[in-house]
Structure 1
Amino acid sequence: MASALDRIRVGSAPDSWGVWFPDDPQQVPWERFLDEVAEAGYSWIELGPYGYLPTDPARLTDEVTKRNLKVSAGTIFCGLHRGPSEWDSTWEQVSRVAALTQAMDAKHLVVIPSFWRDDKTAEILEPPELTTEQWRNLTTGMERLGREVKDRYGLDIVVHPHADTHIDTEEHVERFLDSTDSDAVNLCLDTGHYAYCGGDSVKLIETYGERIGYLHLKQVDPEILADVVKNEVPFGPAVARGVMCEPPAGVPELGPVLTAAQKLGVDLFAIVEQDMYPCEPDKPLPIAVRTRKFLRSCGA
């Protein structure tokens, strides 16, 4: 039996049930997600896309409490690299999600940069590399967001490196961390996305440990990923091919990642997020059960 990872709080998310949108006929109903995530043995969840779960705090509290669940974070997307003109539309979204997140007694807001490539059509929306000015917009904008979210809602923002966004590779992630203030902004390290973009999660935790504020656990199928990279497949179709796979079949190994995180000596959420959009409604639960069992075998 692996040693106990007593600083790691394991949960799951709507993403692991094939949920990417607030409303989509291909997705399981929210009631089924809540029932099944509890049945699979998780005690923490994320809100997922705003509007998928009930947005009335009293109702949502009732729904999660009766299933012995708690909320760890909300999620937003933003394009702050475009400059101050993006602030108002970003804040409109943030204020809704942060208010619900706060009402659920969660402490984190996961912030995902906007995509430079359409994740369905592969249309190139923006250049994949930012200019110096855009980098400055991104870093100063994220710091402002972090400070205002903390001041108004008491939440910590954790920025999520993500495939097909401008914070993806090791080089981009390190540049972002080196250019931002840890008092305002830290990282949601998604092990699958970081591997998808060529990064080493254990190395990042060991090098920038004080900046790791939150974890998403997922794995990548190396063979599918090699073809995705070779043929420049966008993220959405790559997921439909199964590029994000059930652990422990892929990379990185999650045991060493969790051990490295435990050594940081702080409490960390580790939320399972196996991208599976779209997927058959009966597929997620057995995977979730096996994944929870696997993580227990790692000590989490």
Structure 2
Amino acid sequence: MKAKLGMSPIAWWNDDLPELSDDVSLEECLRQSRSAGFTGMEKGRRFPDDPKVMLPILREADVTLCGGWFSGTLVDEELSANKDRIAPMIELFKAVDAPCIVYGEVGQSIQGKREVPLAKKPRLDESQMKTYGRMVTAFGEWCAEQGMPLSYHHHMGAVVETEPELDAFMRHSGEGIPLLLDAGHLAFAGGDVLRAIGNHHRRINHVHVKDIRRAVVNGLDRNRQSFLDAVALGAFTVPGDGSLDFGAIVQRLADHGYEGWFVVEAEQDPVKAPPMKMAEIGHRELMRVMTAAGYTVETQGFPKG
């Protein structure tokens, strides 16, 4: 089985908490992650939106674009508005041969609101989830028809956060919307990562290997503290520096035949957790557990020729 290892630039630049950002250029971010062994990087705010500008940067760094976040609003906004906003991103991602666009629901979400505690997250009843699931499926099918698949990101503070919410979303959505499995977000929400993989492996097309610090997560006052408070306190980290058993997680994905990207996405304070050091720790741990699970990790970055 083959796998690829990527990173998210959120370890260097945090869009929601600018104070948790390292003052490095895009080129330096790519250099650090590549020197740690990663061959892919998800899109961040310092990436250009013109493929003619982006491709030389990626080529020089020997890194491929392995995904990127789209802020979807289908829970409370029409398909047409989301199609209009994502269309330029689809064309960019096709031009640089990215594998997928990550769909993150921000409609009604509290993930970027530091003044709103975790307990105030939005919730959908069964009927609302059914309508939402159908809407996201239709959107995913349309994006695939344009030549770029989506990957749905369950997320803390959003309408699909907990394991039961994920199960409901998957039940009411279809094959047209694949799933991004994020171990850290699901564990933070109290879910069973291995069970979720077992239940939904057929739809998983992208994986975020985010770790958590269990003591920080368990110590949160969810009636008072927000998602961004948790991030600032160090709730997330890279594999090998946290509390999750990535040996078991990667093995479960391997058991179900998952092949593709494993992306380290771990937002934390770069002063306390230097991104280069964290990249090295995460890569080392992933290589250990992926080798044990029978994966061959691709080492080529930007396609030659």
Sort the TM-score into its range (normalised by shorter chain).
0.7 to 0.9
Check if 1:48 corresponds to 2:39: no
Match of 1:170 in 2: 163
| Cα-to-partner distance string for 1:108-141 (whole Å, 9 max, x where unaligned) | 1110111532534333798621144532332122
Q: CA deviation at 1:74?
A: 2.4
Match of 1:18 in 2: 13
The two structures, once aligned, show a CA RMSD in angstroms of 2.5
Task: Determine which of 121, 128, 136 is the counterpart of 2:130.
Answer: 136
| Cα-to-partner distance string for 1:176-228 (whole Å, 9 max, x where unaligned) | 1111111x011101110010001111111122210111100011111110122
| Cα-to-partner distance string for 1:1-55 (whole Å, 9 max, x where unaligned) | xxxxx3322111111223336x989443222211211111110111134xx2011
Secondary structure, counterpart of 1:116 in structure 2: coil
Higher deviation after alignment, 210-219 or 12-21:
12-21
Say if 2:209 and 2:239, in contact at 8 Å, map to a contact too. Answer: no
Say if 1:7 and 1:265, in contact at 8 Å, map to a contact too. Answer: no
CA distance in 2, matches of 1:118, 1:296: 31
Match of 2:58 in 1: 64
TM-score by length of 1: 0.87
CA distance in 1, matches of 2:205, 2:94: 17
Say if 1:73 and 1:108, in contact at 8 Å, map to a contact too. Answer: yes
Say if 1:45 and 1:72, in contact at 8 Å, map to a contact too. Answer: yes
- Cα gap change, 1:281 to 1:68, in 2 (>3 Å): farther
Task: Determine which of 4, 13, 24 is the counterpart of 1:9.
Answer: 4
CA distance in 1, matches of 2:30, 2:253: 27
Say if 1:74 and 1:98, in contact at 8 Å, map to a contact too. Answer: no
Which sections of structure 2, spanning at least 5 residues, go unmatched? 292-296, 298-305
**AA of the residue aligned to 2:249:** V
Aligned residues: 288
Q: CA deviation at 1:281?
A: 9.7
Secondary structure, counterpart of 1:292 in structure 2: helix
Match of 1:215 in 2: 207
Say if 2:238 and 2:265, in contact at 8 Å, map to a contact too. Answer: no
| Cα-to-partner distance string for 1:142-179 (whole Å, 9 max, x where unaligned) | 11111111111x12211001000011111000001111
Secondary structure, counterpart of 2:61 in structure 1: coil
- Cα gap change, 1:176 to 1:246, in 2 (>3 Å): same
**AA of the residue aligned to 1:197:** A
Say if 1:7 and 1:262, in contact at 8 Å, map to a contact too. Answer: no
CA distance in 2, matches of 1:31, 1:37: 10
Secondary structure, counterpart of 1:238 in structure 2: helix
CA distance in 2, matches of 1:73, 1:87: 22
| Cα-to-partner distance string for 1:83-114 (whole Å, 9 max, x where unaligned) | xx433332232112222111111121110111
Q: CA deviation at 1:264?
A: 1.9
CA distance in 1, matches of 2:202, 2:91: 27
**AA of the residue aligned to 1:116:** S
TM-score by length of 2: 0.86
Higher deviation after alignment, 238-247 or 85-94:
85-94
Q: Percent identity?
A: 22
- Cα gap change, 1:118 to 1:157, in 2 (>3 Å): closer
CA distance in 2, matches of 1:141, 1:7: 33
- Cα gap change, 1:195 to 1:229, in 2 (>3 Å): farther
**AA of the residue aligned to 1:11:** G
**AA of the residue aligned to 1:9:** K
Which sections of structure 1, spanning at least 5 residues, go unmatched? 1-5
Match of 1:205 in 2: 197
Q: How does 1:1-300 map to 2 (within 5 A)?
A: 6-20=1-15, 26-27=21-22, 28-49=24-45, 52-82=46-76, 85-114=77-106, 116-117=109-110, 119-123=112-116, 128-152=122-146, 154-182=147-175, 184-276=176-268, 278-280=269-271, 283-298=274-289, 299=291
CA distance in 2, matches of 1:26, 1:285: 13
CA distance in 2, matches of 1:171, 1:36: 38
CA distance in 2, matches of 1:90, 1:55: 18
**AA of the residue aligned to 1:55:** D
- Cα gap change, 1:24 to 1:121, in 2 (>3 Å): closer
